[in-house]
Chains A and B, each alone.
Chain A
Amino acid sequence: MNFDPLNFDMGTYAVYIWPAYGVTVLVLGGVTLWSICAWRRAKARLAALEAGQAP
């Protein structure tokens, strides 16, 4: 296997490659943040209920 140095030059295909990577980062990053926020919210709500301070 012969790898080249890191190369970010996509030439004429840049218009297809970067949007695809952009959407992927946006969607996967978004769902990760959404899941973590939902987990933290659920944890805080349960803690508040257990402490008898339900909102």
Chain B
Amino acid sequence: MQFLFRYANPHNFMRLSGAVLPFTVIACLMCLGLGLYLGFSAPPDYQQGRTVLLMFIHVPAATMAMTVYGAIAVCSLLSLVWRHPLSDTAARAAAPLGALFTVLGLITGSLWGKPMWGTYWVWDARLTSFLLLLFVYIGYMALWNAIEDEIRAARAAAILALVGAVNIPIIKFSVEWWNTLHQGESIVSGKTAPVFLAPLLLMMGGYFLLFLTLWMVRIRTAILERRARNLMQAGAR
């Protein structure tokens, strides 16, 4: 906890993130570049043909949609329990990124579903719970904007984020708990051939690093905006 609180200080965060950002940008570009190169060099899958290429953008987007929500839930918990000074800012900054990953997961999944399942959409447990995640993201962002008092808005949004976190294990295990059209887990169980796993893991790493980079940039922006607001208020007095 000491570590977290040390970097909860906006000044320390600006210093640390400023030093880390160039490395995350370079690592992100390397992962995405190599991932795409290997992806487009991978042979066609014996069942899916070249649509296997959709896996390299769909799985990372869907994984990040849930990871980002997890990060928001952790930040919300830190905010509610320990009044961690930066956690509200961090949670709010992550939400639009998570929502966009969810949208990408839905669109790319739909475009993968049509040639594989014969339909763009089916109301099975995985797809429905994933769509619900998008609505939770939208609700979370709307709540932040609906309440004028920032402290009250942060409190309400944090509670909503923690309630909405129930959906994450439902999405994850939906393919095991219910009979779904969506395929089951195939990465950890080792069912993915190495020739597809290598580009997939690189793309997942690239997406994660992209999120980390943009998250830090957005938190830094929020800190600067807050400083500007404080200066304006001090000037008005």
Interface residues of A (CB under 8 A from B): 1-11, 13, 16-17, 19-21, 23-24, 27-28, 31-32, 35-36, 38-39, 42-43, 45-46, 49-50, 54
Contact = CB atoms under 8 A, between A and B. Distances in A.
B218 A2 contact: no
A4 B43 contact: yes
25 contacts: A1-B194, A2-B43, A3-B43, A4-B41, A6-B37, A6-B41, A10-B50, A11-B50, A17-B53, A19-B111, A20-B108, A20-B111, A23-B107, A23-B108, A24-B104, A27-B100, A28-B100, A31-B100, A35-B218, A42-B221, A42-B224, A42-B225, A46-B228, A54-B232, A54-B235
Contacts of B42: 3-4
Interface of B: 37-38, 40-43, 49-51, 53-54, 57-58, 61, 96-97, 100, 103-104, 107-108, 111-112, 114-115, 194-195, 198, 210, 214, 217-218, 220-221, 224-225, 227-228, 231-232, 235
B218 A24 contact: no
Given A21-B57, A38-B221, A50 B214 contact: no
Contacts, number: 101
Contacts of A16: 51, 54, 111-112, 114-115
Contacts of B231: 46, 49-50, 54
B214 A1 contact: no
